[in-house]
A and B are shown apart, each in its own frame.
Chain A
Amino acid sequence: MGKILRVNLTEGRISTIETKQYEQWGGGHGIGSALFWELCKDKAISGFDPRNVVTIMTSPLSGTLVPAAAGRTEVQGIGVQGYPTEWFTRSNFGGRFSAMLKYAGWDGIVIEGKADKPVWLNIVNDHVAIEDAKWLWGLDTWETQEEIWRAVSGSRDFRDWIAAGAGRDGGRTTQRPAVLTIGPAGEHLNRNASLVHDAGNGAGQGGFGGVWGAKNLKVISVLGTGSVEIADPNALMEARRWFASRQYNVDAPAKQSPKDNFSFYGIITRSPAFGPLIFNMTEPCRPQGCAGCYIACRRRTQSGLGNESQCVESLHYSVGGPQTQWRATDLLQQCGLNVYDVFVTDYLRELYKMGVLGPGKQINCDLPFDRYGSPEFIETYTREISYREGIGQDLGEGIIRAAKKWGRLEQDLNSGLLAFPNWGYHEHYDPRLEVEWSYGSILGDRDINEHCINWYVHWMPTVTAMVGEEPLYSAQEMVEIISQKLVPYKDPMMLDYSADGIYAEGKAKMIAWHRHYTRFYKQSMAFCDWAWPDLINVNVPGLEGTTPEAEPRFINAVTGKNLTFEEGLETGRKIWNLDRAIWALQGRRRDQEVFAGYVYQVPTKAPYWLPVYENGQWKYSTNEGRVLDRARFEEWKTRYYKLEGWDPSTGWPTRPTLESLGLGKVAEELERHGKLGK
């Protein structure tokens, strides 16, 4: 453990924090929450307030050779996207930023205050400077990065060495700095602005681009020439070899994809370099991944279109032809926009068709709907939002606040025309059915975006159904294998998505396990969501994934500790409780933890595969015609709060729960504010 960089933009002051003080939190999110708790004195402020504290954290595994865990960075602070409250929230991005930050000698960065003019932060090993960013303001995210590369590295050829310091031992590298930046959307204080790094790594959810814009912070650039110390290098290499022998699916794959290069299939068979999910490139391209990742789930293409973008961002404009889609995705990244908020052109078209939106209509809008599907439409749309022109003046506030201003919010959330089930975030997986996702989201601060269970319970049966194959494993096999890994509960009913199962005790255990696992292993130790946990592996006999053995094995090799899987979950529970305390101070109440109206009122209409336990048997069901039952969900919440040791009437953590986790001071603070559970 090293040090964390503390930057106060108001005072132009740079200082350091010893990471050791925060060791109990693991890394990443845990340390970020602890720092926020201490440094953000008034947690009920707006995310745009200069007093908001933003943390950008690595994990102990960043920059190491741990598979699919070395290249993720966690961002936290009060976001500006959440509705009705701007919750303390998190976002995360991949690439090489976290590794570079570690090579520069830093475990993370804390940003406080607001600069009086645009600035950028220039980190070269332990030299840190706050510099004038007037010359960068107005540039898009790609132009900005190129400018920074030139400024820090000089106009060198990409094969040249760059000296990081003066003298022979100052450090040298061939790498360009890792740059995290906002684009025009962030500069215009959009609530849907992202932070972008390299071509296609974005921290979108939360609207941290707008938060940086409010702080007048355009860029953080980091160049490091050091390395990360590994406590037991032999153990790490052994663990990698063991993992590779079980995981890789290259020479003799047990399950052949029905087609080469078939990325949808690759993710369930865990093939290395399975490629982006949505872009099905027909042009020459090569795999691209975050630092140290064997999966390399993105691509670099010959044309350069769609480089590094690999998931929902590529759906920004799914009505256009492939070339138009790729270009639209690049534009989104260049402008620094969060796809999951601006991915609403279909909704706007509905309003246009209803006759309420259009030139001179109730919602005045000049978007060319007569050319919907064309490149012109999406270019105009993206530009108007990013620069707050035309309809973008409203949409830059995020679609939920725009709909509220237009007087449509309640009716459109009730009908499901606006499918935003929780906290103003877009629906991801069906909240009426795939409840480990929706319950986790409503109990937290955002759309959770954690695929831990989703790969197995929904993706696999869906993808195989899509290609007309039998499922790769039966529902019974899946439940038997996975439930044994869901320690300490090991309860098969955790995986029951039937009309009764989603309100049962098993689902409370499932949500608890998931919240604790992700808070520690994914968000604090930065194991990538696309690869972990490894619950089922079709490449080995018996189908057993490497969880729960792998995670502590890798962590211990790097840190020299003797962590057990259960201890990691317990730290996750501690972090989850601290986050919960922060939300309580922001005004969270039990009666707010309810979904948008459509979740309770509008039945599902299309097949959605999930395992159910019915008539004494496990099977994959298509689960049509379901709504969430309001009363049963309320009963379920009581059950869950009790399981977590929270007050069932308020949902706030109680003193015994907090004290058992070593959070007595947190209990005192909650008590002072009248927010301690009884």
Chain B
Amino acid sequence: MLAEVGYEERLVGYEMSPATGNAPRSLYSFREVCDFLRVGNPEDLLTKGSHSSIGYLDLEELRRWIGSVLGDRDLAEAIGRELEAHKTYRERVDAARELMRQRLEQCRAALSE
């Protein structure tokens, strides 16, 4: 689950910063995706340095990637349910992020990190 995937299996997101427009970013691991996916808020913008833009992902693509590339069908299905339940991009991201955060914690605990 936490291993890096290969080039063909990567997930491409878009770093949306007003300073440079939208820049594609390749993501090679679940950790990188968890770190990347975010919707801006003033708090993040102030405290996260260059990570102060929107980390944009097509959320349907994210769901498929987690299910097929990482093979975590349970998480993919749970994210799918949240995407159905929420309307705006911000709400969907917040819900998906929370599920992903929990899964990352579980993985870390299993690895005793």
Question: Which A residues have a C-beta under 8 Å from some C-beta of B?
Answer: 258-259, 261-262, 264, 277-280, 282, 311-312, 314-315, 318, 321-322, 325-326, 346, 349-350, 353-355, 416, 419, 427-430, 434, 458-459, 462-463, 466-468, 604-608
Is the Cβ of A467 less than 8 Å from the Cβ of B56?
no
Say whether, besides A312-B19, A466-B40, A278 and B45 are in contact (CB < 8 Å).
no
Residues of A within 8 A of B39 (CB): 466, 468
Contacts of B15 in A (CB 8 A): 318
Question: Is B42 a contact of A315 with CB atoms below 8 Å?
Answer: no
A351 (CB) vs chain B CBs: closest residue? B7
Q: How many of B's residues come within 8 Å of A, CB to CB?
A: 36
> What 18 new A-B contacts, CB under 8 Å, besides A318-B51, A322-B50, A350-B26?
A258-B42, A259-B46, A277-B18, A278-B17, A311-B19, A315-B20, A322-B49, A325-B49, A353-B26, A419-B23, A430-B21, A463-B18, A466-B40, A466-B53, A605-B58, A606-B16, A606-B56, A607-B16
Q: Is the CB of B21 within 8 A of A353?
A: no
Whether B25 sits at the interface, judged by CB under 8 Å, is yes
Q: Is B7 a contact partner of A353 (Cβ separation < 8 A)?
A: yes
B22 touches A608 (CB 8 A): yes
Give the residue among A259, A325, A466, A467 with the most B Cβ atoms within 10 A.
A466
Nearest 8 A-B pairs (CB), nearest first?
A466-B40, A606-B14, A322-B49, A259-B42, A353-B7, A429-B21, A318-B50, A258-B42
- A185 vs B47: C-alpha distance in the bound complex, in angstroms? 33
CB closest residue in chain A, given B36: A319
- Whether A434 contacts B51 in the complex (CB less than 8 A), given A467-B45, A607-B56, comes out as no
Residue from B25, B40, B47 within 8 A of A280 (CB atoms): B47
What is the CB-to-nearest-CB distance from B47 to chain A, in angstroms, rounded to a whole number?
A: 6
How many Å lie between the Cα of A611 and that of B24 in the bound state? 23
* Chain A residues within 8 Å of B84, by CB: none
**With A264-B52, A466-B54, A467-B41 as given contacts, are A280 and B46 in contact (CB-CB < 8 Å)?**
yes
Residue of A nearest to B49 (CB): A322
Which residue of A280, A428, A467 contacts B21 across the interface (Cβ within 8 Å)? A428
Contacts of A608 in B (CB 8 A): 16, 21-22
A303 CB to nearest B CB, Å: 14
Q: Give per-residue flags for B1-33: 1 if the beta carbon is below 8 A from chain A beta carbons, else 0.
A: 000001100101011111111111110100000
A-B contact pairs, 8 of them (CB 8 A): A264-B52, A315-B50, A322-B48, A434-B21, A466-B18, A604-B22, A606-B16, A607-B16
Q: Are B45 and A259 neighbours in the complex by a CB distance under 8 Å?
A: yes
- B45 to A314, Cβ gap below 8 A? no
- Nearest residue (CB) in B for A372 is B28
Nearest CB of A to B60, in Å: 12
**Contact A458–B18 (Cβ < 8 Å):** yes
The distance in angstroms between the C-alpha atoms of A608 and B56, with both chains bound, is 11
Q: B16 touching A462 by the CB < 8 A rule? A: yes
| B48: A residues at CB distance < 8 A | 280, 322
**Cβ of B27 to closest chain A Cβ, rounded Å:** 11
In the complex, how many angstroms separate the beta carbon of A597 from the nearest chain B beta carbon? 15
Known: A353-B6, A353-B26, A606-B56. A459 touches B14 (CB 8 A): no
Q: Do B20 and A282 touch across chains, with their CB atoms under 8 A apart? A: no
In the bound assembly, the distance between CA atoms of A137 and B86 in angstroms comes to: 61
Question: Which residue of chain B has its CB nearest to the CB of A434?
Answer: B21
- CB-defined contacts of B51 to chain A, threshold 8 Å: 318
- B14, closest chain A residue (CB): A606
Q: Which residues of B contact A459 (CB under 8 A)?
A: 18
Residues of A within 8 A of B53 (CB): 466
- Does B43 sit within 8 A of A, measured CB to CB? yes
Q: Check if B101 is an interface residue, CB within 8 A of chain A.
A: no
Q: Is the CB of A467 within 8 A of B42?
A: yes
Q: Chain B: which residue is nearest A353 at the CB level?
A: B7
| Most-contacted residue by chain A among B14, B20, B43 (CB, 10 A) | B20
Q: Is B90's beta carbon under 8 Å from chain A?
A: yes
Interface centre among A429, A430, A462, A604 (most CB of B within 10 A): A462
A430 contacts across to B, CB distance below 8 A:
21-22
Q: B49 — which chain A residues lie within 8 A by C-beta? A: 278-280, 321-322, 325-326
Q: Which of B16, B22, B49, B58 has the most CB of A within 10 A?
A: B49
The distance in angstroms between the C-alpha atoms of A202 and B90, with both chains bound, is 38
Given contacts A462-B16, A468-B90, contact A264 B45 (CB under 8 A): yes
Contact between B22 and A355 (Cβ–Cβ < 8 Å)?
Answer: no
Q: Of all chain A residues, which has the CB nearest B40? A: A466
Complex Cα spacing A608 to B90, Å: 16
CB distance from A446 to the nearest CB of B (A): 16
- Could you say which residues of chain B place their CB within 8 Å of the CB of A280? 45-49, 52
Known: A349-B26, A353-B7. A314 touches B50 (CB 8 A): yes
Given contacts A259-B42, A278-B52, A325-B49, contact A264 B16 (CB under 8 A): no
Q: Which residue of B lies closest to A354 (CB)?
A: B7
Whole-angstrom CA separation of A5 from B27 in the bound complex: 52
A110 to B52, CA, bound (A): 42
B75 to chain A, nearest CB (A): 23
Contact: B28 with A353, CB < 8 Å?
yes
Tell me the smallest distance from the CB of A389 to a CB of chain B, in Å: 26
The answer to whether A427 and B45 touch across the interface, beta carbons within 8 angstroms, is no
- Give CA–CA (A321, B47) in the complex, Å: 11
Nearest B residue (CB) for A416: B24
Q: Which of chain B's residues has its CB closest to A430's CB?
A: B21
A354–B53 Cα distance when bound, in Å, is: 27
> Is the pair B46, A262 in contact by a Cβ cutoff of 8 Å?
yes
Of chain B, the residue at the smallest CB distance from A608 is B22
Which residues of B are found within 8 Å of A315, using beta-carbon distances? 17, 19-20, 50
Residues of B within 8 Å of A346, CB to CB, are 25-26
- Determine the distance from Cα of A604 to Cα of B21 in the docked complex, in whole angstroms: 12
Contact A277 B46 (CB under 8 A): no
Give the distance in Å from the alpha carbon of A261 to the alpha carbon of B40 in the complex. 16
With a cutoff of 8 Å between Cβ atoms, the chain A residues found around residue B19 in the complex are: 277-278, 311-312, 315
**Who on chain B is nearest to A316 by CB?**
B50
Tell whether A350 pairs with B52 under 8 Å between CB atoms, given A277-B19, A467-B41.
Answer: no
On whether the beta carbons of A467 and B46 are closer than 8 Å, the reply is no
Known: A278-B49, A278-B52, A605-B58. A462 touches B42 (CB 8 A): no
Cα of A428 to Cα of B17 in the assembled complex, Å: 11
In the bound complex, residues from chain A placing their C-beta under 8 Å from that of B58 are: 605
A280 nearest CB neighbor, chain B only: B46
Which B-chain residue is minimally distant from A602 (CB atoms)? Answer: B24
Nearest chain B residue, comparing its CB with the CB of A318: B50
With beta carbons under 8 angstroms apart, the residue of B12, B20, B26, B54 that contacts A312 is: B20
> Once the chains bind, are B22 and A325 in contact (CB under 8 Å)?
no
Contacts of A321 in B (CB 8 A): 49
Contact yes or no, B56 A278, CB < 8 A: no
A459 to B21, CA, bound (A): 9
Q: In the complex, which residues of chain B have a beta carbon less than 8 angstroms from the beta carbon of A259?
A: 42-43, 45-46
| Complex interface bits, B78-110 against A, C-beta within 8 A gives 1, otherwise 0 | 000000000000100000000000000000000
Contact of B20 among A350, A416, A428, A463 (CB under 8 A): A428
Tell me, in angstroms, the Cα distance from A275 to B17 when the chains sit together.
16
